[in-house]
Amino acid sequence: MSEAHLDTAPRVIAHGGNLHEAARRYGIAWDAWIDLSTGINPHGYPVPPVPAAAWQRLPEDGDGFAASAARYYGAPDAQHVLPVAGSQAAIRALPALLATQGPAARVAIAPLTYGEYAPAFTQAGHAVVPLDIASATLPEDVTHAVVVNPNNPTASLIGRETLLRWHAQLAARDGTLIVDEAFADAFADSRAASLADATGRPGLVVLRSPGKFFGLAGARCGFALAAPALLAALRARLGAWTVSGPARHAVTHAFADTAWQGAMREQLAAECARLVALLASHGLAPRATPLFAWIVHARAAELQDALAARAVWTRRFDAPASLRFGLPASEDEWQRFETALAQAMQALG
């Protein structure tokens, strides 16, 4: 689906994963599709059986869940971690929270990035202005900034030194830097560019999500990493029991399974290389993270349609015209995708 970037009027925001919509539109059964429209790991973590108590009891803060996340992400300690109902919950709550701490502000957000941020800040009374990631320069007149790192969908990655410099500039204005690291886990050194260890600094918020790398998007679990005072205010706004018992069980086991994590990072690196090579073989020029690849193409809408006619669903963007490809889930899907892509490119002429 297309997306109008920095169009902050109230609207339904398009996301990948809308496979039922594609099935209806193209008249192809839902289970016949190859869904490449998200950046979620198709080889999800094998969650062990959920104990009955996880279903029967209310979640308890004393279960060590925040501490396990602090260890995994490298946050200073559990006091700097707040579990939330997917990072989406924090994305929606943070702009209103920041609005209570000062007058309406100017917020820098990249024109092509995760589409939930700009509307959330606008609805909270802030003014959204473009952030030029390539220039590594923060606009002088902004109070807050949002960086998705690596960026979704462009795969751009901003270095730690630049982000810390931006944070220092914003902190001097009593502002906040929000860094969304939802796709950071998949890299071989997942902490190399992360600011999780710096979240004791006022005015810095890091958002993490086990949904992407661990393939646990359905758990609706995420984490806000920040100074304890900000997290206390965010907790008060979000309320109690934000993450279910079964989700806490699944994510705790995933965080502790370092053998699975290491093997999966190697597997994703190999599959990403395969995806990049396949796209390049058709004259496309992908930029990639281990979980997805993104291409700019003047006829992106036609290419998405030609692939969809062959039961391959991708994610389309309009500015610039481009497509994002996730990873196939099996060798059979790889073979089907390779055939469909060759046929689609031939149909474009």
On the question of pLDDT at 347 being above 90, the answer is yes
Token pair 């050194």 is found at 189
Average pLDDT in the chain? 94
Alpha-carbon distance of 258 to 214, in angstroms, equals: 12
Between 168 and 10, the higher pLDDT residue: 168
Look at residue 9 in the predicted model and tell me its pLDDT. 45
On the question of pLDDT at 6 being above 50, the answer is no
Query: Which overall architecture, per CATH, does domain 59-256 show?
Result: 3-Layer(aba) Sandwich (3.40)
Alpha-carbon distance of 308 to 289, in angstroms, equals: 23
Look at residue 300 in the predicted model and tell me its pLDDT. 98
Q: Check if the beta carbon of residue 148 is closer than 8 Å to that of residue 109.
A: no
> Which CATH number is associated with domain 19-43+259-348?
3.90.1150.10
CA 189 to chain centroid, in Å, comes to 18
Q: Check if the beta carbon of residue 180 is closer than 8 Å to that of residue 133.
A: no
On the question of pLDDT at 2 being above 60, the answer is no
Look at residue 17 in the predicted model and tell me its pLDDT. 76
* Residue range 152-184, pLDDT digits in tens: 999 999 999 999 999 999 999 999 999 999 999
Between 269 and 188, the higher pLDDT residue: 269
Output DSSP code: residue 62.
G
* Residue range 105-125, pLDDT digits in tens: 999 999 999 999 999 999 999
Percent of the chain residues past pLDDT 90, beyond the cut = 89
* Residue range 23-72, pLDDT digits in tens: 999 999 999 999 999 999 999 999 999 999 999 999 998 899 999 999 99
On the question of pLDDT at 7 being above 60, the answer is no
Residue (of 308, 287, 284) closest to 297 by Cα position: 284
User: What are the residue ranges of CATH 3.90.1150.10 in the chain?
Assistant: 19-43+259-348
* Residue range 205-219, pLDDT digits in tens: 999 999 999 999 999
Alpha-carbon distance of 204 to 170, in angstroms, equals: 9
User: What are the residue ranges of CATH 3.40.640.10 in the chain?
Assistant: 59-256
Q: Is the pTM of this model over 0.95?
A: no
* Residue range 261-287, pLDDT digits in tens: 999 999 999 999 999 999 999 999 999
Q: Which two tokens stand for residue 241?
A: 């029991």
For every residue of 70-121, DSSP letters joined together read HHHHT-S-GGGEEEESSHHHHHHHHHHHHHTTSS--EEEE-SSS-TTHHHHH
